[in-house]
Homo-oligomer: A and B are copies of this chain.
Amino acid sequence: MDISKYLMETKIDANSHEPMYLQIARSIAQRIIDNTLPKGTKLPPERELCNYFGVSRTTAINAYRWLEQEGLVVTKVGSGTYVKENTNQQSNTLQVPWSQLFIPYPQTPMTSILKELVSTPYASEIISLATGMPDPTSYPLTIFHNLFKERFPTANPADFGYIPTEGYQPLREYLVELLNEQGIATTADRTMILSGSQQGLYLTSKVLLERGDYVIVQSPTYIGAIQIFQTIGARMLILPGEQSLNLDILEDYLIRYRPKLFYLISTFNNPTGQVLTEQERKDLLRLAARHRLVILEDDPYSQLYYEEKPPLALKAWDTNESVIYMGTFSKTLAPGLRTGYLTGHPALINRLSLEKQYVDLHSNNFSQWLLYLYLREGYYSEHLKFIRVLYKKRRDSLVKAIRRYLGDHISFDVPEGGFYLWCKLKSGSSARLLQEAIKCGVFFVPGQAFYTVPSEENEFRLCFATHPEAVLVEGIKRLTTAFDHIHKSKPKTIDNNPLKPIV
């Protein structure tokens, strides 16, 4: 190889206190060590070295001599000077420096919270009220078992080969019926299967957003959405309000920033439980139409209502195709199915599928085959009725336990659906409470995880879906113990001991 270009780049300073031969030698040594000059490379003859650097023959000879003494080159008489074959033996045994190889990543304390939440939902020794996981004992595994037992032998083997990226066609078509029942008019070519609705959020962000783009989010909102928008480098505009949608702020954002997307959990928002009223939905759609706003409506919870049936999805009134709608079976059937779905404009479905092919080619066929049968046989609506009763009781038990044991410390609104109780400490920080709670064998998600900006420190989320009522009550008792520990360890203030003399 021609190494002259590397040598040409080397700057020699005649005024340096370092001898010229040493400057030259060190420069070459550097390139041997960093492998720019690999083992066996023939170095230029001394007279060429003189020419390159405009130095005397002696300087060139001394440079090579130094390299030879350092064990980096070897001189073969009558042939020339070569980079030594075993020079790199040491670096050969060096491990690849993996931690330095990755592209920059916006690391925050919340970077892996989602990952941690899905990793530890059901540990036995500690009661997790953190993860938004439906109770495993509620999964319709018996029906799944029957479907596997009775239908699998007559399944078409090709259904377990490669299938279209958009999804297993019978399931796509059946989902259209399910969506129609929920007031959403759509078609199979507007509907695709996802490996969980998390994937819909990921893919939609990937095709619509670039670094620096504006996205509107409710505040607080789903952790996984915040993380994706952060990773892409989108700028989040927050729409505060736990009970109603502030359309004035929204319109101001629309005019001022021209945001690319509004990510929204319209029904039983995670974590607040907020439900948009029918009027708010219609007003929002009008605003969206006027400003050509694209709305990503994430709807994992609307079927989990415990009082009145909530209003129809935004998508049900979406005559302008402003809305991308996502649903999932993770909260109603079992997270392990990893099956969600998305409905929107065909151009969007087409583009999302192009991206999805890179991510996983298509979603899991076993789940899609099973879900299609499960839905078609009509099991779903019965199951929904069953879990609505189950989770309503759990919500009520949790509420009752908190009012009984912690009523003085915690305030909340009772959510009309979903999985979560959004709690506010009357004093103190939820992060401090969590520290103590973990020692007492219970944990939850501190409120800050659901915000894009520093927030009140007194909020936290409890999930009432995962555990039976008795465990929920035990969890609250443990939380009460945590409160006691905090208050005991608090240095007594004068106000607490009004009779103690001031010293």
**Residue ranges of A at the interface with B (Cβ–Cβ < 8 Å):** 1, 35-36, 38-39, 88, 91-99, 101-103, 105, 111-112, 114-115, 117-119, 121-122, 131, 133-134, 136-137, 139, 141-142, 144-145, 148-149, 152-153, 155-165, 195-196, 198-199, 202, 207-210, 224, 227-228, 231, 251-252, 254-255, 260, 286, 289-292, 294, 319-322, 334-338, 345, 347-348, 351, 353-354, 357-367, 370
**Option from B94, B158, B357, B364 in Cβ contact (under 8 Å) with A114:** B357
Q: How far is the CA of A139 from the CA of B161 in the complex (A)?
A: 9
Total identical chains = 2
Asked whether, in the complex, the Cβ of B366 is within 8 Å of the Cβ of A114, the reply is no
CB distance from A122 to the nearest CB of B (A): 5
Asked whether, in the complex, the Cβ of A354 is within 8 Å of the Cβ of B115, the reply is yes
List of B residues within 8 angstroms of A137 by Cβ = 157
Asked whether, in the complex, the Cβ of B161 is within 8 Å of the Cβ of A153, the reply is no
Which residue among A95, A102, A142, A337 has the maximum number of chain B CB atoms within 10 Å of its CB? Answer: A102
Q: How far is the CA of A149 from the CA of B320 in the complex (A)?
A: 48
Asked whether, in the complex, the Cβ of B366 is within 8 Å of the Cβ of A370, the reply is yes
Q: How far is the CA of A137 from the CA of B156 in the complex (A)?
A: 9
Asked whether, in the complex, the Cβ of B227 is within 8 Å of the Cβ of A336, the reply is no
Q: How far is the CA of A338 from the CA of B367 in the complex (A)?
A: 11
Asked whether, in the complex, the Cβ of A357 is within 8 Å of the Cβ of B118, the reply is yes
CB distance from A93 to the nearest CB of B (A): 7
List of B residues within 8 angstroms of A345 by Cβ = 95-96, 98
Asked whether, in the complex, the Cβ of B255 is within 8 Å of the Cβ of A362, the reply is no
Asked whether, in the complex, the Cβ of B360 is within 8 Å of the Cβ of A199, the reply is yes
Asked whether, in the complex, the Cβ of B361 is within 8 Å of the Cβ of A364, the reply is no
CB distance from A368 to the nearest CB of B (A): 8
Contact A159/B336 with A93-B319, A98-B321, A252-B1 known, Cβ cut-off 8 Å = yes
**Option from B165, B336, B354 in Cβ contact (under 8 Å) with A160:** B336
List of B residues within 8 angstroms of A97 by Cβ = 292
Asked whether, in the complex, the Cβ of B196 is within 8 Å of the Cβ of A231, the reply is no
Asked whether, in the complex, the Cβ of A119 is within 8 Å of the Cβ of B164, the reply is yes
Q: Which residue of chain B lies nearest to A365 when distances are taken between CB atoms in the complex?
A: B336
Asked whether, in the complex, the Cβ of B290 is within 8 Å of the Cβ of A131, the reply is no
List of B residues within 8 angstroms of A286 by Cβ = 92
CB distance from A444 to the nearest CB of B (A): 16
Contact A111/B334 with A158-B136, A255-B36 known, Cβ cut-off 8 Å = no
Asked whether, in the complex, the Cβ of A338 is within 8 Å of the Cβ of B365, the reply is yes
Asked whether, in the complex, the Cβ of A39 is within 8 Å of the Cβ of B292, the reply is no
Q: How far is the CA of A119 from the CA of B145 in the complex (A)?
A: 29
CB distance from A257 to the nearest CB of B (A): 12
List of B residues within 8 angstroms of A366 by Cβ = 336-337, 364, 366-367, 370
Q: How far is the CA of A289 from the CA of B96 in the complex (A)?
A: 8
CB distance from A468 to the nearest CB of B (A): 13
What are the 10 A-B residue pairs with the smallest beta carbon separation, nearest first?
Answer: A336-B365, A160-B336, A136-B157, A148-B148, A118-B162, A364-B364, A98-B347, A119-B164, A195-B360, A98-B345
Asked whether, in the complex, the Cβ of B149 is within 8 Å of the Cβ of A161, the reply is no
Asked whether, in the complex, the Cβ of A145 is within 8 Å of the Cβ of B136, the reply is no
**15 residue pairs from A and B, CB less than 8 Å apart:** A1-B252, A35-B291, A88-B290, A92-B290, A94-B320, A95-B321, A95-B345, A96-B294, A136-B158, A137-B157, A141-B155, A145-B152, A337-B364, A338-B360, A366-B367
Asked whether, in the complex, the Cβ of B39 is within 8 Å of the Cβ of A198, the reply is no
CB distance from A2 to the nearest CB of B (A): 11
Q: How far is the CA of A115 from the CA of B145 in the complex (A)?
A: 32
CB distance from A449 to the nearest CB of B (A): 14
Q: How far is the CA of A494 from the CA of B241 in the complex (A)?
A: 83
Q: How far is the CA of A338 from the CA of B366 in the complex (A)?
A: 9
**Option from B105, B159, B164 in Cβ contact (under 8 Å) with A118:** B164
List of B residues within 8 angstroms of A88 by Cβ = 290
List of B residues within 8 angstroms of A362 by Cβ = 118, 338
List of B residues within 8 angstroms of A210 by Cβ = 103
Q: Which residue of chain B lies nearest to A150 when distances are taken between CB atoms in the complex?
A: B149
Q: How far is the CA of A96 from the CA of B292 in the complex (A)?
A: 6
**Option from B92, B103, B133, B159 in Cβ contact (under 8 Å) with A209:** B103
CB distance from A321 to the nearest CB of B (A): 5
**Option from B224, B336, B357 in Cβ contact (under 8 Å) with A161:** B336
List of B residues within 8 angstroms of A251 by Cβ = 38
Q: How far is the CA of A436 from the CA of B363 in the complex (A)?
A: 33
